[in-house]
Amino acid sequence: MIKQSDLRGVVEDQQSRLNIGADDLKRNLLGQLPTNLENHALIISGIRRCGKSTLLRQLIKQDEGKVFFINFDTPKLFDFDLNDFELLDSLILESGASSLYFDEIQVVNGWELYVRQKLDQKYRVSITGSNASLLSQELGTKLTGRHISKELFPFSFSEFCRFTQTEPDANAFANYLTKGGFPEYLRSDNPEILSSLLDDILFRDIVVRYGIRDVRSLKRLLIFLISNVSNLFTANKFTQVLGIKSSTTILDYLSFFEQAYLIKLMPRFAYSYRAQIVNPRKIYIIDNGLIGAISASFSFDLGRRLENAVFWSLNQMHNELCYFSEQSFECDFVICQNKQAIELIQVCSELNADNHAREENGLWAAMEFFKLEKGTILTLDQSDIILKNGKRIEVLPVYNYFS
């Protein structure tokens, strides 16, 4: 519970700084956001510091009406609770706003009830949040059919090139694989930015929220996950390696990491959902820049970093991604639509005499399995065409595929 005078001070201070960042790089997502929504809240979710607040300010700048903005993720509003929304209402009425912009509103318990009330009162409402599960659970119970959700990620490669003012070539992509796409880090080149981000996520979004007592094991698991980016994962294996007694605990921690947008686990392709669950999954971390911040000893494995970057790019383009593994043949990415494979992609930094048979044979096997005539191998800077038995493999530079 807070005083109205304190709330007014926070709102006035934040409103006075609304233009800060509004002229920064326009995100690709900005042009995809619906405008003038009626009876539906716009929800923008994503990992901390990926640019949600800046995107919200850019959205506000496009709004031709009277707007009201408040960011709840500030120490001055830590005591804000459901009853304080009544105080907020009086400030909104005073402002004469027709559009409401709530940054990180999910930190307030019961926020979804208030948002529904404002929608019923014919306000246009836009919201950001940093926890995928929290948003989806609450939206599914209180805002069913009353919201449109979008996800924002760290810079894509095309955004990275625009931000750094570089041409989209192999050198730029190699730089992207090292630095990643968090705007604040790219602006400052200060690795402490990423270390601080990880601390915020671990402690504010996971440890405090879920009451984690064994913080050391949580951190150890995260470091181990990063050192195994793009490798296969099973809970039992990690239990043995890390000395965590319960595989259930491991699975809980993984769920927390996923909900905070830190990692994503990709399943093996199977027509049976049960088979997908029991088979090992592949580990991917949200951004390559975090690898160095988490584990200084992590070797610079260009191939694994490349696969990690390709996964997150594909993840933003397609809802159904999995890997193929049959009879010792593997293909990195199977892109599906309505559970039917539509595209196959293999990833390696360089196709050479040592690996071409393995990479090509895995792709040929997947093409035969899915009855597809074409497959793609993404490399850092190679182009080629390979033909066999009426089927075709295109070797492409990754920067061309995603430009």
Residues of the chain with pLDDT under 70: 133-142, 240-241, 295-300
pLDDT of residue 379: 98
* Residue boundaries of the structural domains of the chain: 4-151, 318-403
pLDDT of residue 207: 95
| DSSP secondary structure string for all residues of 222-237 | HHHHHHTTTSEE-HHH
Phi and psi at residue 82, in whole multiples of 5°? -60, -35
pLDDT of residue 147: 86
pLDDT of residue 70: 97
Give dist(CA 233, CA 400) in Å, integer. 31
The answer for 383, left when phi > 0, alpha when psi is -120 to 50, beta otherwise, is beta
pLDDT of residue 136: 60
Residues shown for the chain? 403
Locus of tokens 């919200």: 56
Residue 28, Cβ neighbours under 10 Å: how many?
15
What stretches of 183-266 show up as alpha helix (H) in DSSP?
183-188, 192-200, 208-210, 215-227, 235-242, 247-259
Q: Which two tokens stand for residue 190?
A: 């200060």
Give dist(CA 21, CA 283) in Å, integer. 33
Task: Please tell me the pTM assigned to this model.
Answer: 0.93
pLDDT of residue 141: 63
pLDDT of residue 374: 98
b or e along 210-245 (b: 16 or more beta carbons within 10 Å of the residue's beta carbon)? Answer: eebeeeebbebbbebbbbbbbebbebeebbeebebe
Helix (H) or strand (E) holding 132: helix 132-142
DSSP helix/strand/coil, 267: coil
| CA pseudo-torsion sign 197, 202, 203, 209 | positive
Q: Which two tokens stand for residue 28?
A: 């690709």
Residue 62, Cβ neighbours under 10 Å: how many?
10
DSSP helix/strand/coil, 371: coil
Burial status of residue 21 (CB atoms within 10 A of its CB: 0-12, 13-18, 19 or more): middle
Residue 93, Cβ neighbours under 10 Å: how many?
10
Percent of residues in the chain assigned helix, strand, coil, to nearest 5 = 50, 20, 30
pLDDT of residue 332: 98
Q: Which two tokens stand for residue 370?
A: 């899915």
CATH topology (fold) of 4-151: Rossmann fold (3.40.50)
Helix (H) or strand (E) holding 284: strand 281-285
Give dist(CA 377, CA 202) in Å, integer. 36
pLDDT, tens only, 234-257: 887 777 667 777 888 899 999 999
Tell me the three-class secondary structure of 140-190, residue by residue.
HHHCCCCEEEEECCCCCHHHHHHHHCCCCCHHHHHHHHHHCCCHHHHHHCC
